[in-house]
Amino acid sequence: MSDTIAAIATPIGEGGISIIRCSGSGALTVAQKIFYTSTGNSVNELSSHRVHYGSIYDPKKNKYIDEVILTWFKGPKSYTGEDVIEISAHGGGFVSSRILGLVLEYGARPAEPGEFTRRAFMNGRIDLSQAEAVADVISASSDKALQAAIMQLKGHLSKQVNTLYERLLSLLSQVEAAIDFPEEGLDFQKREISITELQHVYREINTLVSSYRQGRIFREGASVAFIGKPNVGKSSLLNALLQEDRAIVTPHPGTTRDTIEEKMRIRDIHINIIDSAGLRNHPESVEEEGIKRTLVAIENADLNLVIFDRSQPLDNNDDLVCKEVRDKPILVIINKCDLLENWSMDTLKKKIKTDSPMFISVKEQSGLDTIIDAIYNHIVDTKTSSETTFISRERHRAHLVEALVSLEKTIESFEQQLSEEFIAIDLGIAMNHLAAILGKSIEDELLDQIFNAFCIGK
């Protein structure tokens, strides 16, 4: 039997109401000691899964504390799977800590961050990916992030991963049977069928892995870096999009020496925009450090806006820019279109692959809306429906990738007619990775890491 935990589940500070939550075998006893209904009944006469109007009293001091609503959930049908009481009190910091103090006095101990959800997981109410989704729902700051988290909380990802696990389990049981009854073996036809099934599972896992980029962008936002040689107007564009004078702009090349990061929002997606030091050959030493950071920004960006100055000759610094962004996700932007053009698009197209460059003038504020639309279309796959399952955590991606590696080995072993023992080992490893996503057989240390990121009271 686990001990009884309690916490204030609503944010600190003053508000309309504040909720004190208590879970564990002692929850009912706590309520019996401190809660009275308006008719004087104590909690054991109250029906479960109902809200009850009454008061909190401090029995030792014989003092009335607050008028409250108490919700009583008899386990296992509760958030944690244990007996739970939730006291909705007036939302003052003092009154709620007074009530929490009483709850603690009558047998509960303060809950650790995420401990309620951890118990829900431990008691099998939700699996680990759903527990992670609880944290994601809480921290969601856009519609897309919330939608993806809710889908995961409802168990869409769990169901999919579970089905894949079951399919591998059924293959494993055939392989195990072949080990136990070698005279029957896995005949040729069965091997063929197994390979086809493994390939199907492989493809489905692969699709989930590919959904990571989009899922992560929904959850965390996307990073968009402004890249170009000095003086093309990177900082000017940053300021224009933010509609504030954030970065220093001067007519002198080499003005921005460090990367500058700012947040903006395009529709329902968070964007981290990064202005960078202009790339150029033979920089002086301070600039050199800035350029190193620019290269890191290019590497990490979900999208690079590669900017060229239409009014100045294309030179070897532009060549350097083109070289550094090769094979990276890019949008090409031609700035300073208010000035006379110095080069033709054909010249640029020989240096960089671009189907639809955008022509803008930051000075005249023209073309900026097109950039915003293009960024959005590039980072959000508008074809995905609200029913698509995304993975959005690196932990899930890493396990799925490991599962793919083991499945590849399994398929190879099948194809090379290796003995069943080899096949069973790799298949088992792949299954363990799928199981780890759901939190089956997972180590305590990892659980600490996941649940400590929660707030207290959840």
Ligand X SMILES: Nc1nc2c(ncn2[C@@H]2O[C@H](COP(=O)(O)OP(=O)(O)OP(=O)(O)O)[C@@H](O)[C@H]2O)c(=O)[nH]1
Would you give the distance in Å from CA 249 to the centre of its chain? 35
DSSP 341: P
Q: Choose the binding region for Mg ion from 156-164, 207-215, 228-236, 445-453 (rule: CB under 5 A).
A: 228-236
Instruction: Answer yes or no whether residue 284 interacts with ligand X by CB under 6 A.
Output: no
Among 10, 231, 317, 410, indicate the residue that binds ligand X (CB under 6 A).
Answer: 231
**Contact, 261 vs 273, CB < 8 A?**
yes
Instruction: Answer yes or no whether residue 215 interacts with ligand X by CB under 6 A.
Output: no
Among 13, 16, 124, 251, indicate the residue that binds ligand X (CB under 6 A).
Answer: 251
Instruction: Answer yes or no whether residue 117 interacts with Mg ion by CB under 5 A.
Output: no
Among 88, 152, 194, 235, indicate the residue that binds Mg ion (CB under 5 A).
Answer: 235
Q: Choose the binding region for Mg ion from 39-47, 234-242, 286-294, 334-342 (rule: CB under 5 A).
A: 234-242
Q: Choose the binding region for Mg ion from 4-12, 233-241, 329-337, 418-426 (rule: CB under 5 A).
A: 233-241
Distance set, CA 148 to CA 94, 215, 375, 384, 388 (Å):
37, 7, 21, 11, 9
b (16+ CB within 10 A) / e for 18-29: bbbbbbbebbbb
Between CA 81 and CA 23 the distance in angstroms is 9
Q: Nearer to ligand X by C-beta: 100 or 273?
A: 273
Q: Nearer to ligand X by C-beta: 250 or 300?
A: 250
Nearest approach in angstroms of CB 273 to Mg ion is 13
Among 254, 357, 367, 428, indicate the residue that binds ligand X (CB under 6 A).
Answer: 254
Report the relative pairing of strands 5-8 and 109-110 from DSSP bridges.
parallel
Nearest approach in angstroms of CB 240 to ligand X is 8
Instruction: Answer yes or no whether residue 392 interacts with Mg ion by CB under 5 A.
Output: no
**Residue 230 contact among ligand X, Mg ion, none, beta carbon within 5 to 8 Å by kind:** ligand X
**Residue 85 contact among ligand X, Mg ion, none, beta carbon within 5 to 8 Å by kind:** none
Find the binding residues for ligand X in span 315-344 (CB under 6 A).
335-336, 338-339
b (16+ CB within 10 A) / e for 247-278: bebeeeebbbbebbebebebeebbbbbbbbbb
Instruction: Answer yes or no whether residue 255 interacts with ligand X by CB under 6 A.
Output: yes
- Which residue has 């002198």 as its token pair? 252
Helix, strand, coil percentages for the chain (3-state, nearest 5): 45, 15, 35
- Determine the residue type at 4: T
Please state the φ and ψ torsions of residue 9, each to the nearest 5 degrees. -90, -10
Instruction: Answer yes or no whether residue 256 interacts with Mg ion by CB under 5 A.
Output: yes
Burial of 145 (0-12, 13-18, 19+ CB in 10 A): buried
Residues making contact with Mg ion (CB under 5 A) = 234-235, 255-256
Residues making contact with ligand X (CB under 6 A) = 228, 230-236, 249-251, 253-256, 278, 335-336, 338-339, 361-363
